[in-house]
Amino acid sequence: MSIWKRPVTLGEGLPTPPNTMGEHLGIKVTEVGPDYLRGTMPVDHRTVQPYGRLHGGASCVLAEELGSIAAFLATAPEDGMPVGLDINANHIRPLGSGLVTGTARPIHVGRTSQVWEIRLTDAQDRLVCMSRLTVSVIPAAKAKPAS
């Protein structure tokens, strides 16, 4: 049974919205399952630190992007809009090139808060980073889009 409360179609991959950090870093949603969302980010000149390894901040961006998209899909429009409240990341293994893949799964999906676990892995499915994102669901009457 699916946890999603908004319609989602994937097709050739779901790009992140234009003119956002996700677009700038090349993040793409590649798979949506009944209770998870998966996406990738290239490890390249945009996402590495000076030593040529995946930047911890870029890992956090991927984790927050995937967790936020998942939270959005798991929130009915009439219930409000999820916004990031806290992110935690443990960087486990360095990665110097290729793609990093993130998978967001719910730990808790409630009316006013959600907690998501996002695992980032390399091409050999080895854990690169483990992250947890907590979001607050702002009531629909108070939610306003950014201008």
Please indicate whether residue 64 is annotated as part of the active site.
yes
Cα distance between residue 23 and residue 65, in whole Å: 10
List 12, 23, 31, 64, catalytic entry? 64
What's the CA angle centered on 14, arms 31 and 87, to 5 degrees?
75
Neighbours of 32 (CB within 10 A): 19
Cite the active site residues: 64
